[in-house]
Amino acid sequence: MSFSRSSTVTLGRENAPNHQHQSEEDHSRPEPINLDLLDEDRVDPFPKRLIIAVDFGTTYSAVSYVDVPQGYPSDSVDPRSIRSIGNYPENYNYHYNDPMGLEVPTEVIYPLDRHFRDHFNLDNPEEPPENGDRVEVQAPDEDGDISMLSDMSEEFRWGYRVHEVWNRPSTHSNTTNQPLSRFKLLLDNSEMTQSVRRDVSQTINTLKRRHVIQGPLHVIADFLTYLLEHTRSQLRRQGFDDSYEKEMILCVPAIWTQKACRDMQACLAAAMKRANFTRADLQNKSIDNLFIVSEPEAAAAHMLSTSAEIKSGDCFVLLDAGGGTVDANTYRVSREEPLRLETEIVAPGGGLHGSSYLNEGFREYLEDLLAEETYLNDGTETIHGIVERITFEEFEKRIKRGFDYRQQRPRKEIYIKGLRDNPAKGFRNECIYVPKQKIQEIFFRHLDAIVEIVKSQLEEARGKGYTVEKVVLIGGFGTSISLSQRLKEFLEEYGREHNCRVTLMEPQQGFVSQGKYLNAAD
């Protein structure tokens, strides 16, 4: 199956509306970027080079790459040769067949010390500009000094190193400086992300008052600096030294405005400069050989080039279920070879129903359950710390990943040292007994919302005379047994109701992080 290179890549939209209210008139797009430029304007048109795709995600990020030998054009890349960066620091839970081992949490913890940049690789004074204008979170500045944390305040931490300290009781005994997560959504000024941007405002403002950062863009640039430093280190271990030319692909949401894309490019330019990654011009916020691609279209392009199930003339819904957002786009495939995305046939849909919101629901449940158990507060041990530790160690790692609402499982036992018996709350023998119904309730709050997103795409397409035959499920949350099963049940019901057949295509092993965007360069 062949695929046209010129069909996938677009920049963000100016004043893009949110998912739910985008009108048909908003479908105008910028001119596509011609990726053949990857092979033009060179002294040697085909030097040895690496094509590197950065997937900066809401909850997890990943980097994929492919080696293009000297003398070969970019479109000669075999998708099977695409690799992903792994071996992230402090990822002790990595298993060989676990695709999440090829992703890293998009989280940071800053020391509350304005001079910490002198000791870390974050001391470049030429930070991303315009940190206030339309990206700044709006929240009242709180007065008063902030006490310094002890051990945690001495280091900048990112990725799994944030998770490492999150298990320590002392991390939660002083809440003045919490981990920053979901900060990607600071670039999305839509109504949908307003609550998230409000939630991170307290930590952002704390860091600004201490002159640790100047604004939200600094957080993004700092995270990317460490991501690219690790990437460069891993590439060198594989024998790809600095003599290889690098072509960068940056994946961004389709609904981002041009302003958001420019801000993201400025952050990446600063990070690449610090990490000695490739040539970047901070003054002009430009990067040599950088191509910005639409996340859903690049993912759809990968499906076209790797799956025999998508055929000419097909209409399909691409459902990207990530950690923060769940996004749906419906496409029609061209009827002639090479296959390409002919058009996006209805307005995109989506919402804040990613897998991290399951954690949020479980966290709220525990907080309500333990609110009156104040005797658990003992020195550095706090109820807040207990809740966070259980949410991460028990729910994130064990309950959530394998939960199947069809199975008749007994209630879940969670040990808490010193917890007193209370039969009315399900407390016995220093354990909370969590009924399956409670976990199922947390899941279905978001599973049902995702079904409504898909249903809306199918009905809008049907109303315009299109027949959608497939729903393609991708993203980290796409590996959830419960999400997959709920979608299958819905599609069966929908098929009976409308006398049609819509099938679910589930994620391929490793598809989450192994190059779903790199095919934009083919």
Q: What is the mean pLDDT of the segment spanning 216-220?
A: 93
Q: What is the per-residue pLDDT across 454-499, written as a single tens digit (0 to 9) for each?
A: 999 999 999 999 999 999 998 889 989 999 999 999 999 999 999 9
Q: Tell whether 269 and 233 lie within a shared domain.
A: yes
Where residue 134 falls among pLDDT bands split at 50, 70, 90?
Answer: very low
pLDDT at 16: 43
What's the confidence (pLDDT) of residue 145?
33
Residue 383 within a domain: yes
17 found inside a domain = no
pLDDT at 201: 82
Residue 391 sits at φ, ψ, to 5 deg, of -60, -40
pLDDT above 90: residue 2 = no
The pLDDT of 309-334, averaged and rounded, is 91
More confident residue, 88 or 301: 88
Residue 365 pLDDT grade (very low, low, confident, very high; cuts 50, 70, 90): very high
- pLDDT at residue 6 in the model: 34
> Domain check: are 433 and 473 in the same one?
no
Q: What are phi and psi of 313, to 5 degrees?
A: 85, -5
In a domain, 173, yes or no: yes
> Is the pLDDT assigned to residue 223 strictly greater than 90?
yes
How far apart are the C-alpha atoms of 511 and 62, rounded to whole Å?
12
Residue 386 sits in the same domain as residue 499? no
Domain boundary among 418, 443, 468: 443
Instruction: For helices 201-209 and 216-237, give the axis angle rounded to 10 degrees.
Output: 90
Give the pLDDT mean for 145-155. 45
Please count the structural domains in the chain.
Answer: 3
Composition of the chain by helix, strand, coil, percent to 5: 40, 15, 45
Give the pLDDT score at 232: 94
Token pair belonging to 50: 């690496």
Among the residue ranges 11-25, 145-159, 213-227, 431-445, the one predicted with the least confidence is 11-25
- Local confidence band at 33 (pLDDT 50, 70, 90 cut-offs): very low
Q: Across the chain, what does the average pLDDT equal?
A: 80
Reduce the secondary structure of 11-59 to three states and give it as a string.
CCCCCCCCCCCCCHHHHCCCCCCCHHHHHCCCCCCCCCEEEEEEECCCC
Domain C-terminal end among 415, 443, 471:
443
Give the count of alpha carbons within 13 A of 52, CB side only: 26
Do 99 and 241 belong together in one domain?
Answer: yes
Q: Which of the pair, 500 or 136, is modelled with greater confidence?
A: 500
What number is the average pLDDT over the span 207-223?
A: 90
Between residues 231 and 178, the one the model is more confident about: 231
**Which residue type occupies 142?**
E
Question: 359 lies in a domain?
Answer: yes
Q: The tokens 């799994």 sit on which residue?
A: 160
CA-to-CA dists, residue 447 to 95, 202, 403, 486, 497, angstroms: 27, 30, 13, 7, 20
In a domain? residue 232 = yes
Mean pLDDT value of segment 81-96 = 79
Amino acid at 514: Q
- Catalogue the E-assigned strands of 100-181: 104-105, 107-109, 157-158, 180-181
| Contact assessment for residue 350 and residue 488, using Cβ atoms and an 8 Å cutoff | no
Q: Considering only residues 278 and 91, tell me which one the structure prediction assigns the higher pLDDT.
A: 91
Tell which of 425, 443, 461 closes a domain: 443
pLDDT (0 to 100) of residue 210: 84
Kindly report the CATH number assigned to the domain that includes residue 72. 3.30.420
Confidence class for position 5, pLDDT limits 50, 70, 90: very low
pLDDT band for 139, please (50, 70, 90 cuts).
very low
Counting residues of the chain whose pLDDT is more than 90, the rounded percentage is 43
Is residue 321 located within the same domain as residue 331? Answer: yes
Examine the domain organization and report whether 171 and 242 are in the same domain: yes
Q: What is the DSSP-derived secondary structure letter of residue 3?
A: B
**Between 119 and 136, whose confidence is greater?**
119
pTM of the full structure: 0.81
- Statement to judge: residues 201 and 93 lie in one domain: yes
pLDDT score for 115: 76
Examine the pLDDT at 118 and tell me if it is beyond 60: yes
Q: Is residue 500 part of a domain?
A: yes
Same domain (yes/no): 429, 349: no
Do 179 and 275 sit in the same domain of this protein? Answer: yes
Phi, psi torsion values for 373, nearest 5 degrees? -90, 55
Domain contains 253: yes
* 216 and 158 in a common domain: yes
Taking the C-alpha atoms of residue 177 and residue 120, their distance in angstroms, rounded to an integer, is 19
In a domain, 297, yes or no: no
Averaged pLDDT, 334-360: 87
Predicted pLDDT of residue 393: 87
Is residue 236 over pLDDT 80? yes
Lowest mean pLDDT among 81-95, 116-130, 148-162: 116-130
Residue 30 has pLDDT above 50, yes or no: no
Q: What is the CATH number of the domain that holds 482?
A: 3.30.420.40
Same domain, 347 and 427: no
pLDDT tens readout for residues 255-278? 888 999 999 999 998 898 888 887
Average pLDDT over residues 364-379: 95
What pLDDT band is residue 200 in, cutting at 50, 70 and 90? Answer: confident
Query: Dihedral, CA atoms, 130, 136, 142, 145, nearest 10 degrees?
Result: -40
Q: How far apart are CA 476 and CA 275, in angstroms?
A: 28
232 and 248 housed in the same domain:
yes
pLDDT in tens, 423-453: 999 999 999 999 999 999 999 999 999 999 9
Domain of residue 230: give its range.
Answer: 49-125+153-288
